[in-house]
Amino acid sequence: MILKPDSTLVHTLYPSPNIEERRAGSRPDIIILHYTGMSSAEKAIGWLANPVSKVSCHYVVDEDGRITQMVEEEKRAWHAGVSHWGGNTDINSASIGIEIQNTGHEHGYPDFPLPQMEAVAALCRDIAKRHGVPAERILAHSDIAPGRKLDPGEKFNWAWLARHGVGHWVPPASIDDASAQLLDDDSAAITDTLALMRAYGYGIDNPERSDWLSVLVRSFQLHFRPQRADGRLDAGTLDTLTRLVAALPDRATS
């Protein structure tokens, strides 16, 4: 099959063989943002097109904003891995994956340049419009795979993205003495936090990990309270989470 661009924003086509049909009639209604974790977009694209890697994505966005499409949007790419969102564990069949060139936490973790952010925003808006992807279903890899993935991480500017029409966002609680009050030994606060995280879409059950609350909290913080993503449940994190869930479309109109 010849790869054809799904978006007018695409600069280059580089087909990956690591694809299959979406399962059980699934259609994409989630966008997942990743970072490549590699030294260059060229190397990332080479790996994502290598049959040995058994990974792929729909798009790669380079630091200069150039967009490469690797998999047709109608196909299932292999980018999410073991993941969960809103009760769904086959996120690859429900999503479009965008890899953003960044060396990642293990290799210096630089800032995301403005031309790259502008390209990501434009691509997300284009995909979301064509597929009807709700703002709250534009997610980080760390949201769908807590503890296993950190990307795109605390330096990725979700607030800027929201100002440019992409994603669901509320201003996070300020970092002050009141918001820093720790609640990770408060059983009522823990119960509320888990219920709210489930309501938002996070998979909250993992009986094999004794540190699962911390893992979940950090994953939430990486996206929605990046000023302090330490995995501690504090009053500011719970406040941000409460307001975020309340701002969901079905909550805000009820």
Q: Which residues, given as ranges, of the chain have pLDDT below 70?
A: 1, 252-254
What per-residue confidence (pLDDT) applies to 24? 84
Q: Going by C-beta distance under 8 Å and a sequence separation of 6 or more, which residues neighbour residue 130?
A: 6
Output 104-109 pairs: Cβ under 8 A, ≥24 positions apart. 104/35, 104/36, 104/37, 104/38, 104/150, 104/151, 104/153, 105/150, 105/153, 106/37, 107/37, 107/39, 109/153, 109/155
Q: What is the DSSP letter of 30?
A: E
pLDDT given at position 250: 84
52's tokens = 């040995």
**Per-residue pLDDT reduced to its tens digit, 91-130:** 999 999 999 999 999 999 999 999 999 999 999 999 999 9
Res 194: pLDDT: 97
Measured between alpha carbons, how far is 229 from 245 in angstroms, rounded to an integer? 19
Provide the pLDDT for residue 252.
62
Give the pLDDT score at 253. 55
> What is the per-residue pLDDT for 33?
98
Q: What is the pTM of this model?
A: 0.96
Q: Is 64 helix (H, G, I), strand (E, B) or coil?
A: coil
pLDDT for the residue numbered 207: 74
Kindly state the DSSP code that residue 131 receives in the 8-state scheme.
Answer: H
